[in-house]
Structure 1
Amino acid sequence: SWVLFYLTIHFLVRVGFSQTLQVDDAEQIHHAQQLALGYPIPQPPLYSWISWGLFQLLGTGLFALTLLKYSLIALTFWFTWLVSGYLFIHIQTRWLATGAYLLMPSFAWHMHQGFTHTILLGFAIILTLHALLRFHHTQSNFNILYLGTTIAIGLMAKYSFLLFIVLLALAALTIPSFRKPLLTRQGLLLFIPLTLLTLPHLGWLLEHQQEVFNAIDNKLKVSSEHLLLERLDSLRQFTVAAIAFVTPFSLLYLLIARKRLLPSKEAKNLPDTHQLLNRFYLLLITITVLLALFISMPHFKVRWFHPLMMIFPLWMLAWIEREEPFSQTKIRWIAGLTLLITLLILGIRLLQVTIGPEIGKYGRLNRPIVESLEQLPDHLKQQSVLITTDHFLAAHLLSHYPQHAIVFNQEIFHIDQLSRSKQCLYLWDDDTLLEPPILAGVDKQGTLKTKVGPIVYTLSYARSDRESCPPFMR
C-alpha cells in the first residue's frame, strides 16, 4: 500500500545516507544495553526493552532503532484504519483519517527526525482507542483483556499517556453504552493485564519518584503563583500550540468542509462512538479552562500534544462526515496538498543528509563521526579499551565496536571484553563542550580531521598502556 511505500522511502533515507545518530537514538543505545525496571530518562522503560530485544537479534545500532521506529509508525497507520471502521460511514473518510497524519507536523516531520518514546505513545493511543471501540462493539473477555493490555502499553510507553487515558475514561463513563459494560464484573478483568504489566515499573518509580517528577516539573514549569492575566496568557499559548499541532490539517478541512461545520439533522442521532470523541474534547476544553483559573498552564511544546490532539482528525472527520461523501474535486485537493507536503518533506530530508553543509545547513546528521572512527589505524583500536566522556560519541562506539570494552563516565560496557584488552584509547571531539581528558602514560596521540562542506570535524585520540589506564579498570 501507499503507507508502506512512504515509510520504506523514509527508512532508506535514514539508514542509507547517514550513520550518525540523533540525540534520542543515542539515548536508547545507552539505556538498552541492559534490561532494567526503569531508566533515568525520565520515561517508562518499554521502548528501551523493545530496543534491547532488537539489539539481541540485529545488533546494536541505527538499523535496529530505525526498523523499530518505522514498524511502530506502520502499525499506527494500520490501527488508525481499523479504528476508522468503527467511526465512519464511507471508505473515503477512512482513507482521509489514515492520511491525516501526513498533514500534522509532529507526524509528517518530527517523527522522522528524532522521536522514540513519542512514537510508541502515538501507537499506544490509537491502539487503546481501537481496544475500547472493539469492546464497546463486542463485550467479550478477550476484548476487555485486550483493553487492559493496551492501557498498560500506553502507561509503559510514556508518562503523558495518562492525560489521554484519563480523558478517554471520563468520556466513556458519561455514555451509558460504554459505562455499563465497563462497570460490570467482566470490566474488572481489565485490571489483570494492567496490573501485571505496570506493577514492576511502578515499584521502581516509587523508589525514584523525586528525580523523575523533578525532571518532569522542570519541563512543564507548572505554577500557581502567577497572576490571573499571566495564567490566561499561558492558556492562550497552550491553545495556540494545540492548534499548531493539527495544522495544516485543520485549516484545510475548515476551508473545504466549512459548510459542514454547523450541526446537521444527523447530529441529533449521533452514534455513541462519535459522542465519545465529542465528550473527550468537551472535557479537555472544560478541564483546561478550569485549571487556567488556578494555575499557569504547563509549558507544552507543539510536539508534546500527542495525548490531547492525536485523535483530533478522527473527531473532526466524524463531525463533518455526511451521508453524501466529499466530491471528487475536494478529494483531489486534499490528496494534492498531502502529496505536495509529503514530497516537500522528503526533499528537505534528502537535502539535509546530502548537500546540507554546502548550503549552510550543517546539522547533527552531518557529523562524520563514524567516518572519522573508521580512519583510526587498526593498531590503535586492536585490543584497546575505548574510553570517552562524551555521551554522543559513546553511543557511536557502542554501535560500531561490539568486540571492544567501552568506558563512558566510569561505566564499563561489554565488560566481557575487558580481560582481552592491553591498552586504553581515549577519544574526544570538537563538538562537545567537555574539556579534553587529562591523561597519563600516553605513548601515542593525534587528531583526525574530516571536512564536511565548509565544516571541519576533529576527532582526537590518545593511547596509553594498560598500567596507565584508569584505576577502576585494572
Structure 2
Amino acid sequence: MTESNRRDISWIFVLLAAYFTLQVGVRLATSHSLDLDEAEQVFRSQWLAAGYGPQPPFYNWLQYTVFQFAGVSLTALSVVKNLLLFSSYVLYGLTARLILRDKALVAITTLGLLTIPQMAFEMQRDLTHTVAVFFSASIFFYGFIRSLKQPSLASYLIAGIGIGFGLLAKYNFAILPAAALIAALADARLRPRIFDWRLMLTAAVAFVIILPHLFWLQDNLDFATARTLEKMTASGHASYLTQVAMGVSSLALAIISFAALTVAVFALVFGKGLRPALGSGSEWTRLLERMMFVFLAGILLLIVFGGAAGIKDRWLVPMLFILPLYFCLKMEAAGVETGKAFRRFMAIVAVIMIGVPAALYGSVAAARFTGHYERLNRPYATMLELLRKQAEPAAILAGDSLLAGNLRQDIPGVPVLSVDYPGFHPDLAGRRPLLLVWLLPKDGSEALPPDMAEWLQANLAVSAPEASVVDAPYFYRRGDDSYRFGYAWVNQPG
C-alpha cells in the first residue's frame, strides 16, 4: 500500500483516538463509584497471582502493572480499558486493509464494530475480561490473516501472542484459533501456510505466555471452571432434550442479539445492494464462513455433549466480531458502489459516537429525575469518609468484592478483604482497628451478616461486634434519597 493510501485511512484511527479519549472523560465525569468488573480489578490488584478464580488473569495482570506505576484510581482503570479498545479497533482496521482494496469499505469495516451493542456499549459499561478477549482476538486475527496473505516470522509471532493473551483472557477463546486452523486446512491454497515450520513459533510463543497460569490451573481446575460451568449448565432439573432445546434457543437469541443491529445498519446503508452481495463471495468470505461455522459447531457440541443450557451473547465476541469485515468483503466481491453507502454509514456512526457516551452518562445521571439508582449511584466514597471521621481503619473487611474494590479505591494503603473471596490472606496481626462494612438491602436486617460473623470467628477468633448503620446521599440523588451501609468496628480505640 502506498504512503498516500496510508494517509487516506489514517483519519479513521485519529477519529477513534478522539472517541475513546471522550469515553475516558465521560467515565470520569459520570461517577467516582465502580461497577462490578471495575471493583474486581481494584480489589484483586492488592496481590499478584498466577490465577484468581473463574476468569484467567490477563486483565488482572495488566491492571496490576498499571496500578503499580500510576496508582490505584478510576483514571487508571478507564485509560487501560480504552487503550485496549482503541488498539483492538486499530488492529481490526489493519486486518481489513490487508484484504480489502476499497478504502471506504476499510473505514466501514473498522467503524462497523460500533454497530455491535456488546462491543460499543456493554464493554464501556462494565466488562473487563471480555475486553481482553476482544483485544486478544484482534491480535490473533491480524497475525492469522497476515500469515495467510504475507507470511513472515513476525506474522506467525503475532498470531502466537494473540493466542497466548486470548487463553489468558477467557478459556472459551480457544475455539477461535481452532476454528481458524480448521478453516484454513479446508482450503488447498491456504494449507501450506498451516504446514509451515513457523507455526511451531506460534505454538511456542502461546505456550510460554500461558505457562505460569497452566501451573496454577493444574492445581485449581475446579475453582477455575466451576462458576463458568454453573452458568452454562443452569437448566435446573430439566430433561436432556429440554436442556438441549434451552441451549440451542439461547444460542440463537445470543446470535440475534449480537448481530441484529449490525445487519440492520448494513441493510440501511447498502439498501438494495445488500441482498445480491450476500450471494457473492471470495476466498476470504469463504474462509470467514468456515471459521464461523466451526466456531458455532463447537458451541453446539458444548450444548449437546457438555450440558450447556445458557449461552450469553458476550461469549460470541471471539468469533462474531468479524461480522463487519465479512459483510464488507461480500460487498467488494459483488462490486457494490460504496460512495453513497459510506456517507450514510458515517451519519449512523456519528449518532452512535454521540449516543453511546450520552446513554452511559444519562443512565446514571437520570436518577435525579427518576429515582432509579444504578450501582454507580452508590456513595461508597462518602460513606468511607464519614466512617474515617470516627477512626482510621488499619484493615477493612467488606461484605462482597464490589464493596471491597470501591473501598480500596479511596484507601489504597490499607488491606481490604472480602467475605466472598477467600483467596486473599494478608496478615492482620496488630492491624486494629478493623472496619467491617456491608451493603444493607431495603427493609433488611441491620445486624452483622452471619457470614461476616463466621469469618471473624474462623480467622481471628473474634466474636461479633455491635453493628451500626450509616446513611450517605446517592450520587445524582432525587430529593433526600440516601443509601444505607452497615458497619462495625473491631477493637476501635477509645
Q: Into which bin does the TM-score normalised by the smaller protein fall?
A: 0.7 to 0.9
Does the CA contact (< 8 Å) of 1:357 and 1:366 recur in 2?
no
Change (3 A) 1:367 1:230: closer
AA in 1 matched with 2:103: I
Structure 2 Cα separation of the partners of residues 241 and 133 of structure 1: 26
Q: Indicate the residue corresponding to 2:275 in structure 1.
A: 261
AA in 2 matched with 1:447: V
What is the TM-score when the length of structure 1 is the normalising length? 0.86
Change (3 A) 1:441 1:111: closer
What do residues 316-348 of structure 1 show as CA deviations (whole Å, max 9, x unaligned)? 211122475534333232222232233232222
Find out whether 1:345 has 2:390 as its counterpart.
Answer: no
Q: Indicate the residue corresponding to 1:471 in structure 2.
A: none
Structure 1 Cα separation of the partners of residues 308 and 416 of structure 2: 43
State which of 391, 394, 400 in structure 1 corresponds to 2:404: 394
Structure 2 Cα separation of the partners of residues 424 and 257 of structure 1: 64
Deviates more, 1:60-69 or 1:430-439: 430-439
- What secondary structure is seen at the aligned counterpart in 2 of 1:84? helix
What do residues 128-159 of structure 1 show as CA deviations (whole Å, max 9, x unaligned)? 01001222233322322222122111111111
Q: Indicate the residue corresponding to 1:354 in structure 2.
A: 365
Q: Indicate the residue corresponding to 1:176 in structure 2.
A: 188
- What secondary structure is seen at the aligned counterpart in 2 of 1:375? helix
5+ long unaligned stretches in structure 2: 1-13, 454-461
Does the CA contact (< 8 Å) of 2:37 and 2:128 recur in 1?
yes
The Cα shift of 1:38 comes to 0.9
- What secondary structure is seen at the aligned counterpart in 2 of 1:321? helix
Change (3 A) 1:440 1:118: same
Q: Indicate the residue corresponding to 1:149 in structure 2.
A: 161
- What secondary structure is seen at the aligned counterpart in 1 of 2:162? helix
Over aligned residues, Cα RMSD in angstroms? 3.3
Structure 2 Cα separation of the partners of residues 408 and 395 of structure 1: 9
What is the TM-score when the length of structure 2 is the normalising length? 0.83
| Structure 2 counterparts to residues 451-470 of structure 1, below 5 A | 451=474, 452-453=477-478, 455-465=481-491
AA in 2 matched with 1:259: G
State which of 428, 433, 442 in structure 1 corresponds to 2:438: 428
Find out whether 1:37 has 2:62 as its counterpart.
Answer: no
Does the CA contact (< 8 Å) of 1:7 and 1:70 recur in 2?
yes
Does the CA contact (< 8 Å) of 2:277 and 2:334 recur in 1?
no
The Cα shift of 1:85 comes to 0.8
AA in 2 matched with 1:261: R
Q: Indicate the residue corresponding to 1:210 in structure 2.
A: 222
Structure 2 Cα separation of the partners of residues 265 and 393 of structure 1: 52
The Cα shift of 1:285 comes to 5.4
Q: Indicate the residue corresponding to 2:177 in structure 1.
A: 165
Does the CA contact (< 8 Å) of 2:280 and 2:330 recur in 1?
no
What do residues 42-67 of structure 1 show as CA deviations (whole Å, max 9, x unaligned)? 11111111111011011123222211
Find out whether 1:281 has 2:289 as its counterpart.
Answer: no
AA in 2 matched with 1:303: R
State which of 250, 275, 281 in structure 1 corresponds to 2:263: 250
Structure 1 Cα separation of the partners of residues 350 and 410 of structure 2: 37
Structure 2 Cα separation of the partners of residues 412 and 131 of structure 1: 36
- What secondary structure is seen at the aligned counterpart in 1 of 2:46? coil
Aligned residues: 462
Structure 2 Cα separation of the partners of residues 347 and 145 of structure 1: 40
Change (3 A) 1:100 1:92: same
Does the CA contact (< 8 Å) of 2:471 and 2:482 recur in 1?
no
- What secondary structure is seen at the aligned counterpart in 2 of 1:449? strand
Structure 1 Cα separation of the partners of residues 466 and 278 of structure 2: 81
Structure 2 Cα separation of the partners of residues 426 and 228 of structure 1: 47
State which of 303, 307, 310 in structure 1 corresponds to 2:321: 310
| Structure 2 counterparts to residues 56-455 of structure 1, below 5 A | 56-221=68-233, 226=239, 231-232=244-245, 234-255=247-268, 256-262=270-276, 267=281, 270=282, 272-284=283-295, 298-322=309-333, 324=335, 326-378=337-389, 380-381=391-392, 384-409=394-419, 421-431=431-441, 435-436=447-448, 447-451=470-474, 452-453=477-478, 455=481
Does the CA contact (< 8 Å) of 2:164 and 2:205 recur in 1?
yes
Does the CA contact (< 8 Å) of 2:276 and 2:334 recur in 1?
no
Q: How high is the sequence identity, in percent, across the aligned residues?
A: 24
Change (3 A) 1:139 1:151: same
